[in-house]
Amino acid sequence: MRVLLASTSYPRGPDDWKVPFIKNLVYALAAAESVDLRLCAPLGDVPDGVSNILTARELEWFHRMLAAGGIAHLLRSQGWKASGTVLRLLGLQRRAYRRAADADLFHVNWLQNSIPLWGIDKPAVISVLGTDFALLDRPGMVTLLRVTLGRRRAVIAPNAGWMVRRLEALFGDRAEIRAIPFGVDPPWFEIRRDHAGERRKWLVVLRVTAKKMGQLFPWGEGLFDKDDELHVLGPMQEKVDMPSWVCFHGATHPRELREKWFPEAAGLITLSQHDEGRPQVILEAMASAMPVIASDQPAHRDVIRHGETGWLVSSQKEFHEAVTWLKKKDNNILMGMRARAWVLENIGTWSDCAARYVDAYRTVVR
């Protein structure tokens, strides 16, 4: 099958923090014997035999857009002022998609990236990740996407099951709705955590925005000290003042997390109030046998079994109880091992993910 995979983000190199999961997906799909893969995505490291259909000028435009934070960040931070960038992006994608008219199907990451497929009579598999799901609330968005789907054979594939019900209600008469979870790279399962340190290091790994941080600082006041350090890792996308008891390290990347931070961490914390799909870093932490404390929202409930594979909290009291319980070494180890077992059984590796997508491809290509 000749497949064009479209994405508005791609890691430029091994130390790039932006959407490394897209690169993992590309490598896994390229290894599938039945897939002849091409890309419509920003420049980055790709497997042998995989070509990018974008021109040098188009790649440069993508590079400038990503340097400004990416399309999702621009939409959140600029609102309607980003409309010019959005229109240029859609026009660029439209031209690129038309150049790939010999593809058997289009695999589009992000619902809105499917809009330029209007009038191009090809099957589509459309991944839904989180922010694109939230954009369905924008006026006219559902109608526009329904027109784009038309009568084409399509699978809409949210990466988390909690999104299925609404997608069924909106698009179930136009496409099959099938949850397809992403995978986890095998090295995450091989991490061995060191529990011997005198100080416990609690990690927060995210893009730093007010909604991503949630209630972390007010709830964490007085909880973290010299014995329980709170380390925040991620790019500062909004100006957020860090309390003196927070250790802020800026942007990171998967290799640094695997080799430095995860082996010595007591747990991962995310109190995000942002529109999440299924946060990849949570899956990677769980695969590393690391307990996760997360805000009680659909994206987190979809992956964490409260009290078994992690903790879901909705108040400062519950947050303090979770940290206190996980300070005990035996509790921490047991919950971490249960988390790893759950990811192995229910998520698997990127090869497992690629197999799920190939099955969806076969559904739409007949």
Residue 67's pLDDT is what?
A: 78
**CB contact at 8 A, 310 and 304:** yes
**What is the identity of the amino acid at 150?**
G
Q: Is 312 helix (H, G, I), strand (E, B) or coil?
A: strand
Q: How far apart are CA 205 and CA 291, in angstroms?
A: 14
- pLDDT reported for residue 79: 64
CA quadruple 150, 129, 8, 65: dihedral sign: positive
CA distance 275 to 248: 23
**If we measure between CA atoms, which residue out of 350, 6, 317, 64 comes closest to residue 181?**
350
Q: Are residues 44 and 171 in the same domain?
A: yes
pLDDT of residue 76: 66
Task: Give me the torsion for CA of 143, 144, 146, 151, rounded to 10°.
Answer: 140
What total of structural domains would you count in the chain? 2
Q: Do residue 113 and residue 133 come from a single domain?
A: yes
Residue 85: what pLDDT? 81
**Residue-level pLDDT at 38:** 98
The pTM of the full predicted model, rounded to 2 decimals, is 0.90
What does the pLDDT read at residue 77? 66
Residues 240 and 175 both lie in one domain: no
Q: Which domain CATH number covers 121?
A: 3.40.50.2000
Are 326 and 206 found together in one domain? yes
Token output for 187: 């090295």
Q: Are residues 158 and 195 in the same domain?
A: no
Q: Which domain holds residue 196?
A: 186-346
Could you tell me if 234 and 328 lie in one domain? Answer: yes
Distance, CA of 174 to CA of 115 (rounded, Å): 14
* Series of mean pLDDT values for 10-residue runs along the chain (366 residues): 95 75 95 96 93 95 81 68 80 94 96 93 95 90 95 95 96 98 96 80 94 95 93 92 95 93 96 81 97 94 95 98 96 97 97 98 94
CA distance 361 to 141: 25
Same domain, 44 and 147: yes
Domain identity same for 12 and 129: yes
Q: Are residues 177 and 219 in the same domain?
A: no
> In 22-41, which positions are buried (b, 16+ CB within 10 angstroms) versus exposed (e)?
bbbbbbbbbebeebebbbbb
61, 82: one domain: yes
Same domain, 221 and 273: yes
Q: Which phi and psi angles does 100 have, rounded to 5°?
A: -100, 30
Helix-helix angle 329-346:280-287, to 10 degrees: 120
Is residue 157 within 8 A of residue 5, CB to CB? The reply is no
pLDDT for residue 312: 98
Strand ranges in the chain using DSSP code E only, listed in sequence order? 2-6, 36-40, 51-52, 105-109, 124-128, 154-158, 176-177, 200-205, 228-233, 246-248, 265-270, 292-295, 311-313
Residues 176 and 193 in one domain: no
Check residue 106 and give its pLDDT.
98
Angle between helices 316-326 and 329-346 (to 10 degrees): 100
| Residue 319 and residue 271 in contact, taking contact as beta carbons nearer than 8 Å | yes
Residue 275 pLDDT: 66
Place of tokens 């500062």: 236
